[in-house]
Every structure is written in structure tokens, then in C-alpha cells.
């Protein structure tokens, strides 16, 4: 259960309206690496966490904080749009055509769709997409995704910081930059805690005993004109998992004679085909169902023998 407080986590008061900058701030709200993404990402990770205690509580704490960050940014957008487009644009047009052109860059959706408010979109008006979030149920892989999300979010905030001279906007962005700095550390420390608690290795290695033991410590280089990649730590020394030395392959050999040829197409699908692979086998939905039934029967038979 969430409880709502009217008080923001930090002030969101610009010194003056700026409709064009309001459009830019939309990226920090509904962009791929905006606050809506990390908010939903952390909340779903927390909802799906199967370990009551410090991990679930930490994830939910930061997810809840991100709800507040979305509100701060939407409040900032509404205040940057105050008086726009009519009042601000009218004064600008009357005094400075260049300034009028800048203010004319306002996102029309702010006025037409949102009535002078923020939207769950990026700076170009593209709606936020739930496909942006990562919530796999594996805390190691999720925490690594969270570090990257916070880093990208902070980078974009830093870029926006340099695009305004409004002290009120800068003050809020300074706060956001600081929170993104610590959130990166929070997830990195979370990864270390998982390792210390014996819940994860340095990297995701589920079914590690079943993987190709020769290829889990080799670097394949595919440059025909020479590559400097072999100079990096990733191409020499000991692998991070296990005691195997990293093997650098400047001219890796093919490991198969599979030429990747596709089977002849179903003639009823009318794919472009010259007949080199022989005639295709006609198929239809009924045939697919029959094959599916055969597959099930085979699995049951195998399980009983």
C-alpha cells in the first residue's frame, strides 16, 4: 500500500516559464531511460521479489522514491508551461522574433492534449513503452540493468542541465543528479551483497556446468585488417569466473560445416524461390495442428519409456 504526501521530495519551481525546455524535460519523464522507466522497473522487480527482507525492501524503497521523481518532473513541466503559449508567445513575438521562434518550439501536445501539463511520453511525443523495463526475477541481472538505467538517466539529466540557465530548474536537476549518482552505487552495492550472501556469482552463470567449457573463456576477433582489441584486459589474463586463462583468437576457425541454407518454402506462402533446394512441402493450419498433436504424443511416449 502506498501513502501519498502533497509535499514534493524536492522543490520544482522554475524562475520563469520556458515551453521549449518543458518539451525537453519530457525525455526525463517518459523516455526510454526516463523516470517512468526506472519507477516501473523497480516496482515490478520489487513486486516479483520472492525474498522478504532487505532486498525486497530496498527495491521497493527506491521504486517508491522514483514515483516522487516522476511527480517532481511533471510539476516542473506544468510550471514551465505556465502562461504558454498565449501570454509568453505574444510578448515574445512583440519584442523579439528570434525568442518567439524558440518559444514556438513548444510541444503542441502540451497545449492540445495535456492542457498545459506533462504527458507519459518522451520529448518527441512518443508514448512511454512498458517494453523499456527489465524485471526478470533474477536480482543479479536486474541490478545490472538498474545500474545501466541510472547511468543513462543521469547522463541525460546532465545534458539537460547544460541547456538551461534557470536557477530553479538547475536546483532540481542538481538534486536529481545526486540521487542518480547514489542509485548507481546502491545497485552496485546490491550486486556485491548478493555475492557476499552467496546468492550470485560475479556474473550470471546459471547452468554453467552445461555450457561449452572451451568457449567460456575465448575472445573471438573478426577484424580482417587487424584489431587492437587484443590489447585489452578482456583478451588476456584470467577469466572472471573459474581459473581458465582468457584465450585470444585473432583468426577464429569455423566450428561447423553448417552453411545456413533454409529448407524449401511452402509453395502456398508464395516466397521467392528458384527451386534449387527441391520442391517445398505444402502446409496449412490443420497440418500444423496434426504435427503438434504428434509432438505431444511423442513426448508422452518418451516419458513413459
Annotated binding site for Ca(2+): 57, 61, 223
φ, ψ at 238 (rounded to 5°)? -95, 140
Task: Extract the annotated binding site.
Answer: 35, 57, 61, 66, 69, 150, 183, 223
Q: Can you spell out the DSSP letters for 268-289?
A: GGT----STT-PPPP--HHHHH
Task: Extract the annotated binding site for Mn(2+).
Answer: 35, 66, 69, 150, 183
Closest by CA to 66, choosing from 2, 15, 18, is 2
H helix or E strand, kind and range, residue 247: strand 247-249
Contact 122, 28 (CB under 8 A): no
DSSP assigned state of 123 = T
For helices 139-161 and 19-30, the axis angle rounded to 10 degrees is 170
Report long-range pairs for 191-198 (Cβ below 8 Å, ≥24 apart). 191/140, 191/143, 191/144, 191/147, 193/54, 193/55, 194/55, 194/139, 194/140, 194/143
DSSP assigned state of 248 = E
Closest by CA to 77, choosing from 132, 42, 36, is 36
Find where cell 538534486 sits.
Answer: 175
∠ CA 68-72-78, nearest 5°, is: 140
CA 156, CA 121: separation in Å to the nearest integer?
A: 15
What distances in angstroms separate CA 253 from CA 43, 179, 220, 256, one per listed residue?
Answer: 46, 48, 9, 9
Amino acid at each position: 500500500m502506498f501513502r501519498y504526501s502533497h509535499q514534493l521530495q524536492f522543490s520544482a519551481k522554475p524562475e520563469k516559464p520556458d515551453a521549449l525546455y518543458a518539451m525537453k524535460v519530457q525525455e526525463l519523464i517518459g523516455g526510454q531511460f526516463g523516470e517512468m522507466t526506472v519507477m516501473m522497473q523497480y516496482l515490478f522487480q520489487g513486486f516479483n521479489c520472492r525474498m522478504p527482507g532487505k532486498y525486497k525492501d530496498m527495491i521497493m524503497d527506491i521504486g517508491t522514491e522514483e514515483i516522487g521523481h516522476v511527480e517532481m518532473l511533471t510539476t516542473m513541466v506544468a510550471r514551465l508551461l505556465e502562461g504558454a503559449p498565449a501570454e509568453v508567445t505574444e510578448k515574445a513575438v512583440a519584442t523579439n522574433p528570434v525568442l518567439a521562434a524558440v518559444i514556438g518550439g513548444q510541444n503542441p501536445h502540451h497545449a492540445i492534449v495535456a492542457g498545459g501539463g506533462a504527458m507519459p511520453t518522451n520529448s518527441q511525443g512518443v508514448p512511454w513503452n512498458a517494453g523499456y523495463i527489465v524485471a526478470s526475477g533474477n536480482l543479479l541481472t536486474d541490478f545490472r540493468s538498474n545500474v545501466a538505467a541510472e547511468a543513462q538517466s543521469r547522463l541525460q539529466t546532465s545534458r539537460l542541465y547544460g541547456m538551461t540557465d534557470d536557477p530553479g530548474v538547475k536546483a532540481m536537476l542538481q538534486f536529481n543528479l545526486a540521487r542518480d549518482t547514489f542509485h548507481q552505487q546502491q545497485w552496485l552495492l546490491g550486486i556485491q551483497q548478493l555475492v557476499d550472501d552467496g546468492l550470485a556469482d560475479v556474473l550470471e552463470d546459471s547452468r554453467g556446468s552445461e555450457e561449452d567449457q572451451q568457449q567460456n573463456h575465448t575472445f573471438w576477433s573478426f577484424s580482417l585488417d587487424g584489431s587492437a582489441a587484443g590489447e585489452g584486459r578482456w583478451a588476456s589474463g584470467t577469466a572472471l569466473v573459474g581459473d581458465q586463462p582468457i584465450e585470444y583468437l585473432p583468426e577464429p576457425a569455423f566450428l561447423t560445416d553448417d552453411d545456413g541454407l533454409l529448407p524449401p518454402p511452402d509453395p502456398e506462402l508464395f516466397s521467392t524461390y528458384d527451386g534449387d533446394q527441391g520442391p517445398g512441402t505444402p502446409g496449412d493450419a490443420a497440418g500444423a495442428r496434426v504435427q503438434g498433436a504428434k509432438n505431444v504424443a511423442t513426448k508422452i511416449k518418451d516419458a513413459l519409456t
